[in-house]
Chains A and B, each alone.
Chain A
Amino acid sequence: SQQGEEDPQALSIQEGENATMNCSYKTSINNLQWYRQNSGRGLVHLILIRSNEREKHSGRLRVTLDTSKKSSSLLITASRAADTASYFCATDGGNNRLAFGKGNQVVVIP
């Protein structure tokens, strides 16, 4: 069954604003990953957070993980038009599977 569930599903923001999206999951995880998908393309890995980490940064990306609530959030700061894409969380339960959520569509308006 699908583990990741993102919320909200669609987000429209002005360039320069921050974008936040959430992901919840149901079972224990080894790590949680976020991916970006530009229209019609394959997914590209953005950031990975381990189950024993609470927060991680990479450039304009900030990921948090709350294993007690089984949830994660992805924050994109100072958004750009090029950030327009779909964003997916994926959970790795340590069984060699990556289970993806339904994705968040983000539109950044120039």
Chain B
Amino acid sequence: NAGVTQTPKFQVLKTGQSMTLQCAQDMNHNSMYWYRQDPGMGLRLIYYSASEGTTDKGEVPNGYNVSRLNKREFSLRLESAAPSQTSVYFCASRKQGTRYTEAFFGQGTRLTVV
């Protein structure tokens, strides 16, 4: 049981380049999330998807787009990368339908924008 899988694990981009971070979960969870983690800032929510076909902005959505491709997959796209987007990105999922559920996280994608 793989859980939440993120690809790639590491990426270096030049300013202005675009890329898509991939996330897939095999736990049949409805809800999926993208967070970024910066030193001293904790985790900040970029976008989330409560269910297939829906997405909502989190705290820091500017510069990002997302796609909930199907129930398993939730991708994060940077259209024109900026150095401020250098961060570690985490995808998470959790079961919806009950009120008290924990989130499961991927191992993260370390992105550097130069």
Supposing A96-B50, A100-B35 touch, asked if A45 and B42 sit within 8 A by C-beta, the answer is no
8 Å CB contact of A88 from B42, B45, B100, B107: B42
Q: A42-B105, A94-B99 are in contact. List 14 more A-B contacts (CB 8 A).
A: A2-B42, A2-B44, A2-B59, A42-B4, A43-B90, A44-B105, A50-B100, A96-B48, A96-B50, A96-B96, A97-B58, A98-B45, A102-B40, A102-B42
- Tell me if A33 is interfacial: C-beta within 8 Å of chain B: yes
Q: How far is the CB of B37 from chain A (nearest CB, A)?
A: 9
Which of A's residues lie within 8 Å of B, judged by CB? 1-2, 4, 30-31, 33, 35, 40-45, 48, 50, 88, 90, 92, 94, 96-103
8 Å CB contact of B102 from A48, A50, A94: A48
CA distance A22 to B94 in the complex (A): 25
List the 5 shortest-distance A-B pairs measured between CB atoms, nearest first.
Answer: A42-B105, A45-B102, A102-B42, A100-B43, A43-B105
CA distance A98 to B35 in the complex (A): 10
CA distance A27 to B106 in the complex (A): 28
CA distance A10 to B102 in the complex (A): 25
- Tell me if B19 is interfacial: C-beta within 8 Å of chain A: no
Supposing A42-B108, A43-B90 touch, asked if A100 and B42 sit within 8 A by C-beta, the answer is yes
- CB contacts (< 8 Å) of A103 on chain B: these are 42
Identity of the chain A residue whose Cβ is nearest the Cβ of B110 in the assembled complex: A40
Tell me whether B99 and A31 are in contact (CB under 8 A): yes
Q: How far is the CB of B51 from chain A (nearest CB, A)?
A: 9
- CB contacts (< 8 Å) of A96 on chain B: these are 31, 48, 50, 96
Supposing A2-B42, A100-B42, A102-B40 touch, asked if A42 and B50 sit within 8 A by C-beta, the answer is no
Tell me whether A48 and B100 are in contact (CB under 8 A): yes
- CB contacts (< 8 Å) of A33 on chain B: these are 102-103
CA distance A59 to B90 in the complex (A): 27
- CB contacts (< 8 Å) of A99 on chain B: these are 45, 59
- Tell me if B104 is interfacial: C-beta within 8 Å of chain A: yes
Supposing A33-B102, A96-B96 touch, asked if A102 and B41 sit within 8 A by C-beta, the answer is yes
